[in-house]
């Protein structure tokens, strides 16, 4: 697949729209997926004019089963699509006890269920072809429960684990899976979550974030954390986690948990 088509979710603004711009500059045809058709049409028109690429638009709300099924069908049937960017996501303002359960359910559906289903829709085809790439946009919040964004952070921890597991399963079969973990990035997600963006601390520019993520993509990194200065810290974290694995295989409780005689 010389220059595969790239399907990008959440493509009407922010990280998704920037991925569309960057991949179009590289000569990739695009399939843009989002709820806002007007914005996608404006973006598609510009990218066609500037880069001479084909851009299809699929209006969809990935929390709606029918819309999600339609995108899955396109991913399964369109053999030109060789890269999936699972970018669509949302945040949720407020503390856990004050968040409405319907809002939490919708957040989980968008940030986790849609990611799994779309990855599943392409995995078998990519494996059969022996090539393809899945980019899952997570967040450093998934590593930091101290930030207090409990449900959002849990969904992003899920995305990281899913990506790492898929990488272990699919990489030997020719399929590249990348987890991208941004920190705070200046996009509309903050306003949609009810936050006052002007009251928040400085954030990374979305263009810088995506450019860094694509450096990791070109290097075929399994996990890319654009704001992390010291890659060795991530390596140390991984080594500490892996060092615990033999302990998980014990058939008796650790001595520290045994009742006193």
**CATH number of the structural domain spanning residue 78:** 3.40.50.720
Parent domain of 133: 5-257
| The predicted structure's pLDDT at residue 202 | 75
What's the whole-number mean pLDDT along residues 93-115? 95
Asked if the model's pLDDT at residue 190 lies above 70, the reply is no
Asked if the model's pLDDT at residue 221 lies above 90, the reply is yes
Residue 193: pLDDT band with limits 50, 70, 90: low
| The predicted structure's pLDDT at residue 260 | 85
Quick: pLDDT tens for 124-142. 999 999 999 999 999 999 9
Q: End-to-end CA distance of the chain: give it in Å, rounded.
A: 66
| The predicted structure's pLDDT at residue 200 | 67
DSSP per-residue codes, 164-176: HHHHHHHGGGT-E
The structure tokens 């993509």 sit at: 217
Asked if the model's pLDDT at residue 189 lies above 80, the reply is no
The structure tokens 């030997």 sit at: 172
Q: Contact at 8 Å (CB) between 67 and 92? A: no
Would you call 152 a catalytic residue per the annotation? yes
Q: Distance between CA atoms of 105 and 218, rounded to whole angstroms?
A: 35
Residue 188: pLDDT band with limits 50, 70, 90: low
Residue 197: pLDDT band with limits 50, 70, 90: low
C-beta atoms surrounding 255 within 10 Å: 6
Q: Contact at 8 Å (CB) between 25 and 3? A: no
| The predicted structure's pLDDT at residue 148 | 86
Handedness of CA 85, 22, 178, 223 (dihedral sign): negative
Residues 6 or more apart whose Cβ sits within 8 Å of residue 59: 34, 35, 36, 37, 40
Q: How many domains does the chain have?
A: 1
Q: Contact at 8 Å (CB) between 138 and 160? A: yes
Q: Distance between CA atoms of 19 and 5, rounded to whole angstroms?
A: 13
Among 51-55, 84-88, 212-216, 255-259, which is the least confidently predicted range? 255-259
Residue 185: pLDDT band with limits 50, 70, 90: confident
Q: Distance between CA atoms of 71 and 215, rounded to whole angstroms?
A: 27
């Amino acid at each position: 697949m010389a220059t595969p088509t790239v399907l990008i979710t959440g493509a009407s603004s922010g990280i998704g729209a920037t991925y569309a711009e960057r991949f179009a500059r590289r000569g990739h045809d695009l399939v843009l997926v989002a709820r806002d058709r007007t914005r996608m049409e404006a973006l598609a028109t510009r990218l066609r004019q500037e880069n001479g690429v084909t851009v299809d638009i699929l209006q969809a709300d990935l929390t709606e089963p029918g819309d999600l099924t339609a995108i899955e069908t396109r991913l399964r049937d369109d053999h030109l699509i060789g890269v999936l960017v699972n970018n669509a996501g949302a945040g949720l303002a407020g503390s856990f006890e004050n968040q409405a359960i319907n809002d939490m359910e919708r957040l989980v559906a968008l940030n986790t269920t849609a990611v799994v289903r779309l990855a599943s829709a392409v995995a078998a085809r990519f494996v059969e072809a022996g090539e393809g790439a899945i980019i899952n946009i997570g967040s450093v919040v998934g590593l930091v429960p101290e930030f207090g964004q409990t449900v959002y952070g849990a969904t992003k921890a899920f995305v990281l684990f899913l990506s790492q597991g898929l990488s272990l399963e699919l990489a030997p079969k020719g399929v590249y899976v990348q987890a991208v973990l941004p920190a705070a990035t200046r996009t509309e997600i903050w306003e949609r979550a009810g936050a006052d963006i002007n009251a928040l601390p400085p954030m990374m520019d979305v263009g810088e974030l995506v450019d860094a993520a694509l450096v990791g993509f070109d290097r075929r990194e399994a996990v890319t954390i654009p704001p992390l200065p010291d890659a060795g810290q991530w390596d140390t974290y991984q080594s500490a986690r892996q060092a615990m694995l033999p302990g998980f295989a014990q058939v008796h409780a650790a001595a520290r948990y045994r009742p006193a005689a």
